[in-house]
């Protein structure tokens, strides 16, 4: 069965510092991987996705993620965060059988001034 | 504007009082689903629908019902809500062959 683990529940970081949010997945088949962001009191917005091809995926708002098949990871990175990046971030894998998204537990990014 | 809408956005109710949360999308998507979000658990799928009149259980279907009479609408029904259904609910849709799901704004439900 597919699963997703986000290794940090909370990540505090100062403004303009780099950040990495970690995500590991388990799957025995080809995977489609996603990062979603949820700003306070809002729905989920797609940041980026990996379907195939280049393992480095660039998304919106300066975020990028790297698909690493050997380590079964899909970590999200940003070289310099802003206060406005404070949000909850979800990593997810698409289940081919049912078409559902299997989500990780979420990581709260807290950007401090 | 392409979007998924949910109503109501906030709801406080009491145990046992039937309620319906509506979901509508204007993108002509075949696939629709409901998720609930709970702290520390991420989002878990409740029910999904591949097309009109085709629905199936997700990971946490107990206590919920759905219907898909029209392509654009996918209501979530709680026949007899209980406090453990207090949660944040999201509706989502995509094309049946697509990879990206589009989410509604969420419905925060409190069952007293």
Average confidence (pLDDT) over B49-76: 96
- CA angle (A1, A52, B94) in 5-degree steps: 70
Q: Which residue of A has its CA nearest to B89?
A: A43
Report yes or no: B9 and B106 within 8 Å, Cβ to Cβ.
yes
Average confidence (pLDDT) over B26-33: 94
- Rounded Cα distance, B19 and B7, in Å: 11
Given a cut of 70, whether residue A84 has pLDDT beyond it is yes
The percentage of chain B sitting over the pLDDT mark of 70, rounded to a whole number, equals 100
Question: At B85, is the pLDDT very low, low, confident or very high (cuts 50, 70, 90)?
Answer: very high
- Looking at residue B64, what is its pLDDT? 98
Please give, rounded to a whole number of angstroms, the shortest distance from the CA of B80 to a CA of chain A: 26
Average pLDDT score over chain A: 92
Sign of the alpha-carbon dihedral angle for A50, A61, A63, A44: negative
Respond yes or no on whether the N-terminal peptide bond of residue B8 is cis (omega within 30° of 0): yes
Respond yes or no on whether the N-terminal peptide bond of residue A112 is cis (omega within 30° of 0): no
* Span A5-43, pLDDT tens digits: 999 999 999 999 999 999 999 876 778 999 999 998 888
- Looking at residue A41, what is its pLDDT? 82
Q: Which residue of B has its CA nearest to A34?
A: B100
Report yes or no: A46 and A34 within 8 Å, Cβ to Cβ.
yes
DSSP letter at A100 equals P
- Rounded Cα distance, A2 and A13, in Å: 30
The answer, for B56 touching chain A at a CB cutoff of 8 Å, is: yes
The answer, for A2 touching chain B at a CB cutoff of 8 Å, is: no
Average pLDDT score over chain B: 94
- Rounded Cα distance, A108 and A58, in Å: 20
Other CB atoms within 10 Å distance of the CB of residue A90: 25
- Looking at residue B98, what is its pLDDT? 78
Cα–Cα distances in angstroms (integers) from residue A51 to residues A31, A55, A94, in the given order: 7, 9, 10
Mean pLDDT is lowest, of A31-35, B18-22, B24-28, B106-110, for: A31-35
Given a cut of 90, whether residue A62 has pLDDT beyond it is yes
Which of B33, B99, B105 lies at the smallest CB-CB distance from A43? B105
CB atoms A99 and B94 under 8 Å: yes
In sequence order, the β-bridge partners of residue B58 are none
The answer, for A42 touching chain B at a CB cutoff of 8 Å, is: yes
Which of A4, A45, A99 lies at the smallest CB-CB distance from B31? A99
* Span B33-59, pLDDT tens digits: 999 999 989 999 999 999 999 999 999
The percentage of chain B sitting over the pLDDT mark of 90, rounded to a whole number, equals 88
Given a cut of 90, whether residue B95 has pLDDT beyond it is no
- Rounded Cα distance, A31 and A52, in Å: 9
- CA angle (A67, A72, A74) in 5-degree steps: 35
The answer, for B34 touching chain A at a CB cutoff of 8 Å, is: no
The answer, for B74 touching chain A at a CB cutoff of 8 Å, is: no
The answer, for A84 touching chain B at a CB cutoff of 8 Å, is: no
Other CB atoms within 10 Å distance of the CB of residue B33: 27
- Looking at residue A109, what is its pLDDT? 97
Given a cut of 90, whether residue B77 has pLDDT beyond it is yes
Site of tokens 């970690």: A22
Mean pLDDT is lowest, of A20-29, A95-104, B18-27, B59-68, for: A95-104
Report yes or no: A86 and A33 within 8 Å, Cβ to Cβ.
no
Question: At A97, is the pLDDT very low, low, confident or very high (cuts 50, 70, 90)?
Answer: low
Identify all chain A residues contacting B104, using CB atoms and an 8 Å cutoff.
Answer: 43
Given a cut of 90, whether residue B83 has pLDDT beyond it is yes
| CB contact residues (below 8 A), chain B span 84-103, against chain A | 90, 92, 94, 96, 99-101, 103
């Amino acid at each position: 069965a597919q699963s997703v683990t986000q290794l940090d529940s909370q990540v505090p970081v100062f403004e303009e510092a780099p950040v990495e949010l970690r995500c590991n997945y388990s799957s025995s088949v080809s995977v489609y991987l996603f990062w979603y962001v949820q700003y306070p009191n809002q729905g989920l917005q797609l940041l980026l996705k990996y379907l195939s091809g280049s393992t480095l995926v660039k998304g919106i708002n300066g975020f990028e993620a790297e698909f690493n098949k050997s380590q079964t990871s899909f970590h999200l990175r940003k070289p310099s965060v802003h206060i406005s990046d404070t949000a909850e971030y979800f990593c997810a894998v698409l289940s081919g059988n049912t078409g559902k998204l299997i989500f990780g537990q979420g990581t709260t990014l807290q950007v401090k001034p | 504007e392409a979007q998924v809408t949910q109503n109501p956005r906030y709801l406080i109710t009491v145990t046992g009082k039937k309620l319906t949360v509506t979901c509508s999308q204007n993108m002509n998507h075949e696939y629709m689903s409901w998720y609930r979000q709970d702290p520390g658990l991420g989002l878990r799928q409740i029910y999904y629908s591949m097309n009109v009149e085709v629905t199936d259980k997700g990971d946490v279907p107990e206590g919920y019902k759905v219907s898909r009479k029209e392509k654009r609408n996918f209501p979530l029904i709680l026949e007899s809500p209980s406090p453990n259904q207090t949660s944040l609910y999201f509706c989502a849709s995509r094309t049946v062959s697509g990879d990206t799901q589009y989410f509604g704004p969420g419905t925060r439900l409190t069952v007293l």
